[in-house]
Amino acid sequence: MDSHAVATTADAHGHEHDHPAYLRHHFVSYEQQTETASFGMWLFLLTEIMFFGGLFTAYLIYRNWYYPAFVAGSHQLSITLGSFNTLLLITSSFTMAMGVWSAETKRHKGLVWSLIATLILGIGFLGIKTVEYKEKWEKHHIPGDTFSVQSFVNPSSDAEAKAAGDKPMGLDMARKTEVYFSLYFAMTGMHALHMIIGIALLCGMLFKAVRGGYMDGNIAFVENFGLYWHFVDIVWIFLFPLLYLISRHQ
Amino acid sequence: MSEEFQNHDPNSGHTETEQHIVGPATYGIIFAALLVGTALTIGASYLEMGAWNPVVAILIACIKATLVVLFFMHIKYSSKLMKLTVGAGLFTFLILVGMSLSDYISRAWGQW
């Protein structure tokens, strides 16, 4: 009897109920159900990779076109804050992985504490991002009507530009730093939005976990959230060197 | 009727989908490797390598991302279907980015 025949002849309750309630009837086993859910999650994440890929491609092309502006723009970012944020995010990926392991091995306390740690690290990341955005706001580096090229046409007036040894730039090229900051805010902003969505989901998961949830073996949500959180980490793994690091020298 | 449901046995022809639990030891090693990678990429950014600075940075980022996908995201322990899906997605991604970039690189060929 092949599996297709089983799928078409099995009516809703044509067999003994020796399986947990969360196992849907159209799946052969819980493993198959879990893999189907993960497969769907991966398809979603692949569309997300395409989405961020468009932003990365735009960044690479504009960086080649307006290279001096992009170098000067990236000198405005703090490597210290960026590195610390990378540390926070990688650690949060580790704590989330531990959360998934705790759920798989039915460790209630382990799951709750892993989720709390992931939540705190995620919020910490956004907090530092806020500090960075605030500095951009104060220096008029937010693209739009109030954008100022002061730091780039007159680098000696700007602490960061001075420290990096920037040379004064012509107005034409200095204006292109606005393109750098547009892409900076688009990329880190979309990344931050994904973090905010992740933190909201984390809160819901923590709420359920504290009340003894995910201890019955039905942990697809925890596993798939883990995939999402690691994906957000991967985006930052590429954002950090591209935005903060690769123009240090020029 | 019972013989129709013998495929309900999880072990009948579904060995690939068996759950493999990745433990704290593996996660700890990967976490340490990611930290080392982060330190390396920050360190490399302070070295003067000209055109190689971005290449080294992206190479380290790719290695870190691969570690996350294989171990944190369990792809190393997943079925061939999952591996192929992720591989196909990555391949499509490289086609899209690569072809877009090749257009920009080749349009003014020789004029720079």
- Per-residue pLDDT tens over the stretch B1-38: 444 444 444 444 444 445 678 889 999 999 999 999 99
The answer to whether A243 and A187 are in contact (CB under 8 A) is yes
The answer to whether A19 and A28 are in contact (CB under 8 A) is no
Cα(A3)–Cα(A216) distance, integer angstroms: 27
Determine the residue of chain B that is closest to A82 in CA distance: B42
Greater model confidence, B19 or B68: B68
User: Rounded to the nearest 5°, which phi and psi values hold at A132?
Assistant: -65, -45
Of A105, A233, A241, the CB nearest to B41: A241
* CA-based nearest distance B104→chain A, Å: 7
- Is B93's CB within 8 Å of A241's CB? no
User: Tokens 């949500």 sit at which residue?
Assistant: A221
B42 in A contact zone (CB under 8 Å): yes
- Both B41 and B95 in one domain: the answer is no
- Is B14's CB within 8 Å of A31's CB? yes
Quote the pLDDT of residue B1: 43
- CB proximity under 8 Å: B 66-95 to A: 68-69, 72-73, 78-79, 81-82, 85-86, 89-90, 92-93
- Is B97's CB within 8 Å of A14's CB? no
Quote the pLDDT of residue A13: 53
Domain membership of residue A141 (yes or no) is yes
Domain membership of residue A14 (yes or no) is no
The answer to whether A223 and A34 are in contact (CB under 8 A) is yes
User: Tokens 């420290």 sit at which residue?
Assistant: A163
The residue range of the domain holding A152 is 30-245
CATH number at residue A51: 1.20.120.80
Comparing CA positions, the residue from A27, A46, A232, A231 lying closest to residue B85 is: A46
Domain membership of residue A84 (yes or no) is yes
How many structural domains comprise chain B?
2
Helices within chain A (DSSP H only): 3-9, 30-65, 67-74, 79-104, 108-138, 150-153, 159-163, 171-175, 177-210, 220-239
Quote the pLDDT of residue B49: 86
> Is residue A138 packed enough to be buried (19+ CB in 10 Å), middle (13-18) or exposed (0-12)?
exposed
Chain A neighbors of B112, CB-CB under 8 A:
none
The residue range of the domain holding B51 is 2-78
Q: What is the mean pLDDT of each run of 10 residues along chain A (250 residues)?
A: 45 61 83 89 96 95 93 94 97 97 95 97 98 96 93 90 89 94 97 98 96 90 96 97 86
Distances (CA, A) of A163 to A155, A160, B27: 9, 5, 39
Of A39, A79, A244, the CB nearest to B81: A39
- Both B27 and B61 in one domain: the answer is yes
Domain membership of residue A250 (yes or no) is no
Domain membership of residue A4 (yes or no) is no
- Both B89 and B71 in one domain: the answer is no
The answer to whether B29 and B20 are in contact (CB under 8 A) is no
The answer to whether A52 and A183 are in contact (CB under 8 A) is no
Determine the residue of chain A that is closest to B17 in CA distance: A31
- CB proximity under 8 Å: B 16-35 to A: 17-19, 21-24, 27-28, 30-31, 34-35
- Both B36 and B85 in one domain: the answer is no
Contacts of A83 (CB under 8 A, 6+ apart): A240, B38, B42
CA A88 to chain centre: 12
The widest CA-to-CA distance across chain A, in whole angstroms, is: 80
- Both B62 and B46 in one domain: the answer is yes
Greater model confidence, A30 or B111: A30
- Both B74 and B90 in one domain: the answer is no
Pull the structure tokens for residue A146. 């109030």
Quote the pLDDT of residue A247: 86
How many structural domains comprise chain A?
1
- Both B59 and B9 in one domain: the answer is yes
- Both B59 and B112 in one domain: the answer is no
Chain A neighbors of B78, CB-CB under 8 A:
35, 38
Domain membership of residue A3 (yes or no) is no
Domain membership of residue A153 (yes or no) is yes
- Both B63 and B87 in one domain: the answer is no
Domain membership of residue A144 (yes or no) is yes
- Both B73 and B101 in one domain: the answer is no
Determine the residue of chain B that is closest to A249 in CA distance: B48
> Residue A149: how many CB atoms within 10 A of its CB?
19
- Both B67 and B84 in one domain: the answer is no
